[in-house]
Amino acid sequence: MADLILGNARIVTEDEVFAGSVAVQDGMIAAIDRGTGLVPGAFDCEGDIVVPGLVELHTDNLDRHVTPRPKVRWHAGSALMAHDAQMAAAGITTVFDALAVGDIIDGSSRMATLRDMVAAVTAGVASGYLRAEHRLHLRCEVSTATAVEMFTSLADNPLVGIVSLMDHTPGQRQFVHEEQYRTYFMGKYGFSHAEMDEFSRHQRDNADRFSGLHRRAIAALARDRGFTLASHDDATADHVAEAAELGTRLAEFPTTIAAAKASRTAGMAVMMGAPNLIRGGSHSGNIAAADLAAAGDLDLLSSDYVPVSLLAAAFRLHQGPLGFSLPAAINTVSRNPARTAGLDDRGIIAVGKRADLVRVRATDEMPIVREVWRSGRRVA
Position 295 scores a pLDDT of: 95
Q: Are strands 357-361 and 368-374 parallel, antiparallel or unpaired?
A: antiparallel
How far is the C-alpha of 150 from the C-alpha of 134, rounded, in Å? 21
How far is the C-alpha of 273 from the C-alpha of 240, rounded, in Å? 19
Phi, psi of 280 (to 5 degrees): 90, 10
Residue 172 clears pLDDT 60, i.e. is over it = no
How far is the C-alpha of 294 from the C-alpha of 315, rounded, in Å? 15
How far is the C-alpha of 74 from the C-alpha of 117, rounded, in Å? 11
How far is the C-alpha of 222 from the C-alpha of 85, rounded, in Å? 30
How far is the C-alpha of 295 from the C-alpha of 51, rounded, in Å? 25
Amino acid at site 346: R
Distance of CA 328 to the CA centre of its chain: 18
Confidence grade of residue 69 (pLDDT, cut at 50, 70, 90) = confident
How far is the C-alpha of 52 from the C-alpha of 350, rounded, in Å? 9
How far is the C-alpha of 213 from the C-alpha of 221, rounded, in Å? 13
How far is the C-alpha of 272 from the C-alpha of 249, rounded, in Å? 14
Angle between helix 178-189 and 193-206 (nearest 10): 120
How far is the C-alpha of 54 from the C-alpha of 57, rounded, in Å? 10
How far is the C-alpha of 135 from the C-alpha of 6, rounded, in Å? 28
Nearest CA-CA partner of 342 in 117, 87, 27, 94: 94
Position 166 scores a pLDDT of: 87
Region for residue 152 given its phi and psi (left: phi exceeds 0; alpha: psi -120 to 50; beta: otherwise): alpha
Position 365 scores a pLDDT of: 85
Q: How far is CA 67 from CA 71, 86, 116, 168, 273, in A?
A: 7, 16, 12, 21, 22
Q: Exposed/middle/buried for 137, CB within 10 Å: 0-12, 13-18, 19+?
A: buried
How far is the C-alpha of 356 from the C-alpha of 51, rounded, in Å? 9
In this structure, the number of other CB atoms found within 10 A of the CB of residue 118 comes to: 21
Amino acid at site 127: S
Between 199 and 288, the more confident residue is 288
pLDDT digit string, tens, across residues 13-45: 999 999 999 999 999 999 999 998 888 889 999
Asked whether 299 and 262 are in contact (CB, 8 A), the reply is no
Between 259 and 177, the more confident residue is 259
Position 175 scores a pLDDT of: 60
The continuous run of DSSP H or E covering 11 comes out as strand 4-12
pLDDT digit string, tens, across residues 346-371: 999 999 999 999 999 999 889 999 99
Residue 103 clears pLDDT 70, i.e. is over it = no
Mean pLDDT of 243-263: 95
Nearest CA-CA partner of 138 in 125, 127, 126, 149: 149
Residue 309 clears pLDDT 80, i.e. is over it = yes
Q: What are the chain's domains?
A: 1-52+347-380 (2.30.40.10), 54-345 (3.20.20.140)
Q: Each residue of 41-58: b (16+ CB within 10 Å) or e?
A: ebbebeebbbbbbbbbbb
Which string of DSSP letters, residue by residue, matches 353-371? SB--EEEEE--SS--EEEE
